[in-house]
Amino acid sequence: MSSSRHWGLGLLVSVLTACGADVTPPVAVEGRDEVASAEQELDGECTADWAANPCTVADSAACGTGSPGVDSPNTPNNCELGGMKCDPRPRLCNRNSKTLYFKTTSTANIYDSLGNVMGTVAAGQQVRINLGTRKTISTVSPNYLAMAFSAPTNNGGISGWIRPDQLDAGYTNIMNWLTQNYRPAPDPGGTYSDWYIIPSNNAPYEGLHITDNCPANNLAVHYLGRNGRINLITNLPGKGSPTKAVYPNNTGLNFKRAQVQHSVSLPLYDCSSGSAVQVSTRLSFLYGYVQSGHWGWIAMPNLSTTSP
């Protein structure tokens, strides 16, 4: 990777006092739906060292340089998230408060990518926003929505779409910041095959980690079906893997798998001994889209070539 800063996994604790101010974490328990993408050690920094990480300088947005036709994460369809130096990738920095939190100014719904309400965030709660994605849902708003990460809802911590006009920084600021050095997942080109989203069998993956950084708690099941839905991620674990779209997994939605991109299988680890031990089980991902223009990766246990 060309980024000068390390993209590994780490603990969220290191950023909860970001930007020289105390930050109160959300009150909802995230474990119910998504500690997901697992707080990959937040790159960049909406931190007290503001001068060294300015919001006026673009961060690296390098993609893999290998062939997409082989089983390797070093593919042009696996890219860093872009953003600016101040952005704690894979999240967006609130330039006003100099934290990675945005406070709800009113009750706000969290939506899946079809416009279904998954939960509601009370006014005055703190929400994080993912880089690399935005979307319009006509039944929700004529304006772009932002992807909230593990928002503290009445149904637990849920990642999904939120209206930026219901956050303290306001719609214009959030969209301006989100689109600085904006790098969505790339269009792979070529032809597509039909796959279908199904409920996953999580049993073979329970308790296994998708990286060898055990304290990060980046579990394989974070990328599988939970609570009746699955996530499409912008890039693979190791480069942030933030949620880019959220879909129900019980309606047989069509996933267009990019034929040019080989499946990518990642090693899994058993951390029960306190250190990472690689196991024979691996977790594979496919690249494509459910809704045109929103490309990303979905773990293969969530998919079938047979329509349910």
How far is the C-alpha of 183 from the C-alpha of 133, rounded, in Å?
8
What mean pLDDT is reported for the chain?
86
Q: Residue range 214-221: average pLDDT?
A: 89
Q: Residue range 45-69: average pLDDT?
A: 86
Q: Report whether pLDDT(20) > 70.
A: no
Banded pLDDT at 163 (limits 50, 70, 90): very high
**Which DSSP state fits 42?**
P
Half-sphere exposure of 275 (CA within 13 A, CB side): 0
Q: What pLDDT score does 25 carry? A: 34
How far is the C-alpha of 74 from the C-alpha of 241, rounded, in Å?
14
280: CB partners within 8 A, 6+ apart: none
Structure tokens at 298: 């979905």
Q: What pLDDT score does 8 carry? A: 35
Banded pLDDT at 48 (limits 50, 70, 90): low
Instruction: Centre a 10 Å sphere on the Cβ of residue 262 and count the other Cβ atoms it contains.
Output: 18
Q: What pLDDT score does 238 carry? A: 82
Burial class (CB in 10 A: 0-12, 13-18, 19+), 164: buried
pLDDT digits (tens, 9 = 90+) for 111-138: 999 999 999 999 999 999 999 899 999 9
- Contact, 284 vs 263, CB < 8 A? yes
Q: What Rg value do the Cα atoms of the chain yield, rounded? A: 18
How far is the C-alpha of 106 from the C-alpha of 165, rounded, in Å?
10
77: CB partners within 8 A, 6+ apart: 63, 64, 68, 185, 186, 188, 258, 261, 287, 295
Secondary structure (3-state) at 302? helix
Residue with tokens 């301006």: 176
Q: What pLDDT score does 15 carry? A: 32
Q: What pLDDT score does 240 carry? A: 85
Q: What pLDDT score does 28 carry? A: 33
**Which DSSP state fits 295?**
E
Residues found in the chain: 308
- What is the DSSP pairing of strand 295-299 with strand 277-289? antiparallel
Half-sphere exposure of 235 (CA within 13 A, CB side): 28
Structure tokens at 222: 């974070």
How far is the C-alpha of 61 from the C-alpha of 2, rounded, in Å?
8
Q: Report whether pLDDT(223) > 50.
A: yes
Comparing CA positions, the residue from 172, 163, 155, 43 lying closest to residue 100 is 43
- Contact, 253 vs 298, CB < 8 A? no
pLDDT digits (tens, 9 = 90+) for 287-305: 999 999 899 999 999 999 9
